[in-house]
Amino acid sequence: MSSTKNFKGLVEFTPAFKPRPSVSHVLFDFDGTLSLIRQGWPEVMIPMFVEMLPRLPGESDEAARQLVTDDIMRLNGKQTIYQMMQLAERIQERGGQPREPLWYKHEYLRRLDERIHSRLDALRSGAARPDDFLVYGSRALLDTLRERGLTVYLASGTDEPFVLEESKMLDLTRDFGRHIYGAKDDYKTFSKKMVIERILRENKIPGDRLLSFGDGYVEIENTKEVGGLAVAVASDEAHNGSGRMDEWKRQRLLGVGADVVIPDFRDAAALLDIILEK
């Protein structure tokens, strides 16, 4: 394997890593991997879950918070509705009367919109540039992938209409074209696993020709299940460009089989040189 001396920032290769010169298709997660529009979403979802969760006798707010945080982050990368289904289950098992998961989802989105609407307004008005809300180095990575002739796909657990709108605002449509997928109202008709299966089927390629970038459990696990190469983006979303890894993400993404961990895309060209080395 080539040396990492050309890396300006942090990079961690696991012992299982081997170059994949045959890679031809690349899958990206959206929020936290490319887009920072929804940065801070756990700070909306976690307090909402804590607020709505019935307490067990003697249970502290901190214990309740830890429980819902583990639930939420374990499902990060799946459609948002799965987190809401988990909340409803927790409420029921504690003797409460849960609402429909869709109600919780709409309430979460209402609260999230209060947090992010100023970012969307800034992008629409031109007060902010698309690159202000992209993980550091994203643009250069996408340009490099296009120059190398690789086909890129985007798959998000966020509802597809939002993903399409936000991708357009971030000027990502030129890179992904029609290959942008998000959650559907009928949650059973979409998953990242289904997107991966579609990529392999439609392009008639084996799983080892797939490379993925993501900051959630799901895309890492699903990529490894088909024999693909998974790069975990342990992005420090609140301090974009810091070059530091989010240690919580790093630990958990290594735990589900990531081959490489990076904090952002500052070393995109050097990383691709190693991944695609013949």
Same domain, 204 and 96: no
Same domain, 271 and 201: yes
Asked if residue 2 belongs to a domain, the reply is no
Q: Look at residue 93 and tell me whether its pLDDT is greater than 70.
A: yes
Same domain, 166 and 194: yes
- From 103, 125, 147, the end of a domain falls on 125
Asked if residue 84 belongs to a domain, the reply is yes
Same domain, 91 and 211: no
Asked if residue 247 belongs to a domain, the reply is yes
Contact (CB, 8 A) for 86 and 76: no
Same domain, 231 and 115: no
What integer pLDDT is reported at residue 5 of this predicted model?
74
Give the count of domains, the chain: 2
Same domain, 116 and 243: no
Same domain, 86 and 213: no
State the average pLDDT for the chain: 95
Same domain, 203 and 99: no
Residue 24 is part of a domain; what is its CATH number? Answer: 3.40.50.1000
Asked if residue 1 belongs to a domain, the reply is no
* Per-residue pLDDT tens over the stretch 39-87: 999 999 999 999 999 999 999 999 999 999 999 998 988 999 999 999 9
- From 82, 107, 125, the end of a domain falls on 125
Same domain, 143 and 252: yes
Q: Look at residue 2 and tell me whether its pLDDT is greater than 70.
A: no
Asked if residue 4 belongs to a domain, the reply is no
- From 65, 94, 125, the end of a domain falls on 125
Same domain, 152 and 138: yes
Give the number of other Cβ atoms within 10 Å of residue 22's Cβ: 12
Domain of residue 56 covers 42-125
Q: Which amino acid is at 61?
A: D
Q: Look at residue 94 and tell me whether its pLDDT is greater than 60.
A: yes
* Per-residue pLDDT tens over the stretch 188-225: 889 999 999 999 999 999 999 999 999 998 999 999 99
For the question of whether the overall pTM of this predicted structure is more than 0.85, the answer is: yes
